[in-house]
Amino acid sequence: MKSNYMTRLERWARWMLPRQEAEDVLADYRDIVADPELARDLGKPRTVIRALADRKSYYTWLAAFAVMALCILIPGVSPLPGGPYPVWFSMFSSSIPGLHFCRLFLIAGTAMALVWFRPGREEARTPLPRAILLWLAVLLAVMGVMWWISWQLILFPEGVLADPAWYPPADFVWPAAGGYEGGHLLALLLEWGAVPLVILGITALVKARTRDRRWRAVYVLSLSAMMLAFCVLATFSSMDPTLTLASLFFPLPYSVEITLIGLAGTGVALC
């Protein structure tokens, strides 16, 4: 019973209170819970912590969390049925729509994560959790796959380019997407594949608040991988029948910029 109460109390304390204040409160309540007479008068963990929390500070945190979550949620759900991606498509005259927003969401989310979860003066340096390293490795692999698909999309089938000998054959994506079924499945993969990245990014935000601030690195890289996937989807879903090689290279500067910002932000987030 004591262990269960302290577990729930710890969750609410770390979510509603600043880090150092939460540690101080938990230290006090461990002594209180250990005393049977004092423990009888304790209220529900959420009620106890809510009474101690400063409303302004807590609501500021909720606002910051909402903004960071929306930075990855909005692009992540926009290509799904009923999402705003078709609206983005009509807002730009270029053949590759929506890419202008990728940089804005990425910069805003990364900047807020780095500022909000900055290290405190009293924070002790602890070993980096293995779970963070594992998820970062997974996300780097996802970004590598996105780059590979992007490069495959740039490589038109032989005979379309003026001199296809300059480019190796696109040996996977074009044959896979040559028919309706293959292209439809690839589009669905790009659309729905962003959902796990959104879930992982928002989960990392929660863990950065309640566990270790360096989970912000997983959020930043999830956000970067999500935006990179959006660039690939924008290229693949373009309906312009007059696409040229130059048009296909159009997303590359965005992809390079997103990748560099993501890697740099992740490095800073791990410090």
pLDDT confidence tier of residue 83, bands split at 50, 70 and 90: low
For 102-145, what is each residue's pLDDT tens digit?
Answer: 778 899 999 999 999 987 655 657 888 999 999 999 999 999 98
Residues 108-123 as b or e (16 or more Cβ within 10 Å = b): ebbebbbebbeeeeee
Instruction: Note the pTM of the prediction, 2 decimals.
Output: 0.82
- For residue 250, pLDDT beyond 60: no
d(CA 28, CA 33): 9
CA atoms of 138 and 26, how far apart (whole Å):
34
| pLDDT bracket for residue 219 (50, 70, 90) | very high
Label residue 196 by pLDDT band (50, 70, 90). Answer: very high
Cα–Cα distance between 22 and 209 in angstroms, integer?
Answer: 11
Q: What is the pLDDT of residue 233?
A: 77
Round the CA-based radius of gyration of the chain to a whole number and report it.
23
pLDDT at residue 259, rounded to an integer: 92
pLDDT in tens, 32-45: 777 666 666 677 88
Token code pair at residue 34: 């250990």
Question: Residues 133-189: pLDDT tens digits?
Answer: 999 999 999 999 888 887 776 665 443 344 444 444 444 444 444 444 555 666 677
Tokens of 246: 């130059």
- Measuring CA to CA, how many Å separate 236 from each of 46, 54, 93, 189, 200? 48, 48, 17, 12, 24
* Half-sphere exposure for 193 (CA within 13 Å, toward CB): 19
